[in-house]
């Protein structure tokens, strides 16, 4: 049962998916694809030696419309690079990235990107930081206020509207940065280990919040993590990357049924089952 649901790819990565469609063409019709990596290769000049670093090797996978994709892989495998490619901050050496059916050629300006660092503007207060994307979108003042208050409440930062980022703890900055991205309701959301730096309890709460938000306002999510359980808890599919040069080792559909109860997920037999499968796949890469 396990092997046939795992969409294993042969090492040359030019093979077929389990359902028989060619991998390079993706599994979905273009209209239903939010983002697509098509034979993406990336090499860049190393900072420490004269040799070029091969970061990504023929990466191909799709993020379906409103699909939640988690990418896991050993550190340094180029996971975060995937997000920079979708955002248009980097260009692939070869291959293409498509966003809503269009090839990414420059910086994308209508997506949500929660970076690994909070990247809040230190000279703006929490409230001003969150207002910036809304001002850019010319939302009416009342709607801005309403949404900012709602999101501050969701991430537990009510009462800190007038605080400057440096007056907040790292976890609070992180929550503010997430709220600042979600407040403008982007349809495509890139998240780079967003909960990596927060404590375990807050992490579960934030995961729970994210799932609720995603259920309420569906979005296409590309979520980078190094935590297999997190990937299983949140995603529809888990993309497992190999160590550098990063290659897609497998795309695994998550069988844990929705709605998922983050706080009691470990009691779900399917969760334990799949966690073991993924772990075996993953450890062969460490």
Binding interface with another protein (CB under 8 A): 87, 89, 107-113, 115, 117, 119, 121-124, 132-133, 136-137, 150, 153-159, 163-164, 166-169, 171-172, 180-181, 184, 198-199, 201-202, 205, 208-209, 212, 216
Nearest approach, Cβ of 67 to another protein (angstroms)? 21
Q: Are 269 and 256 in contact (CB under 8 A)?
A: no
Q: Closer CB to another protein, residue 172 or residue 281?
A: 172
Nearest approach, Cβ of 8 to another protein (angstroms)? 34
E-assigned strand segments in the chain: 7-8, 33-45, 52-64, 68-72, 94-99, 102-103, 112-114, 188-192, 220-225, 237-241, 248-253
Nearest approach, Cβ of 98 to another protein (angstroms)? 18
Residues near 121 by Cβ (< 8 Å), separated by ≥ 6?
Answer: 128, 129, 132, 165
Nearest approach, Cβ of 136 to another protein (angstroms)? 4
Q: Closer CB to another protein, residue 18 or residue 164?
A: 164
Of residues 275, 247, 265, the one with CA closest to residue 39? 247
Q: Closer CB to another protein, residue 16 or residue 136?
A: 136
Q: Closer CB to another protein, residue 40 or residue 198?
A: 198
| C-alpha to C-alpha distances, 280 to 78, 89, 192, nearest whole angstrom | 21, 33, 24
Nearest approach, Cβ of 265 to another protein (angstroms)? 16
Rg of the Cα atoms in the chain: 19
| C-alpha to C-alpha distances, 119 to 51, 55, 56, 144, 165, nearest whole angstrom | 31, 24, 25, 21, 10
Q: Closer CB to another protein, residue 207 or residue 275?
A: 207
């Amino acid at each position: 049962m396990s092997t046939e649901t795992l969409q294993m790819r042969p090492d040359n990565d030019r093979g077929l998916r389990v359902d028989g469609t060619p991998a390079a063409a993706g599994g979905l019709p273009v209209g239903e694809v939010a983002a697509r990596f098509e034979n993406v290769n990336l090499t860049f000049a190393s900072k420490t030696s004269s040799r070029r670093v091969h970061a990504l090797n023929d990466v191909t996978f799709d993020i379906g419309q409103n699909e939640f994709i988690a990418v896991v892989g050993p550190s340094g495998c180029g996971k975060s690079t995937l997000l920079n490619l979708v955002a248009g901050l980097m260009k692939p050496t070869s291959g293409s990235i498509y966003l809503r059916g269009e090839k990414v050629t420059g910086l994308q300006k209508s997506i949500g990107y929660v970076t690994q660092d909070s990247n809040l503007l230190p000279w703006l207060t929490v409230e001003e930081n969150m207002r910036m994307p809304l001002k850019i979108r010319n939302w009416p003042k009342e709607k801005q206020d309403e949404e900012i208050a709602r999101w501050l409440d969701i991430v537990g930062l009510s009462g800190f509207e007038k605080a400057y980022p440096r007056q907040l703890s790292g976890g609070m900055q992180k929550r503010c940065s997430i709220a600042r991205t979600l407040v403008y309701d982007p349809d495509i959301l890139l998240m780079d280990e967003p909960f990596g730096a927060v404590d375990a309890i807050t992490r579960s709460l934030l995961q729970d919040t994210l799932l609720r938000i995603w259920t309420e306002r569906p979005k296409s999510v590309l979520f980078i993590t190094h935590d297999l359980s997190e990937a299983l808890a949140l995603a529809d599919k888990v993309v497992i990357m190999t160590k550098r040069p990063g290659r897609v080792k497998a795309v695994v559909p998550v069988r844990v049924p929705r709605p998922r109860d983050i706080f009691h997920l470990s009691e779900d037999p399917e969760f334990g089952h799949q966690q073991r499968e993924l772990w075996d796949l993953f450890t062969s890469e460490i």
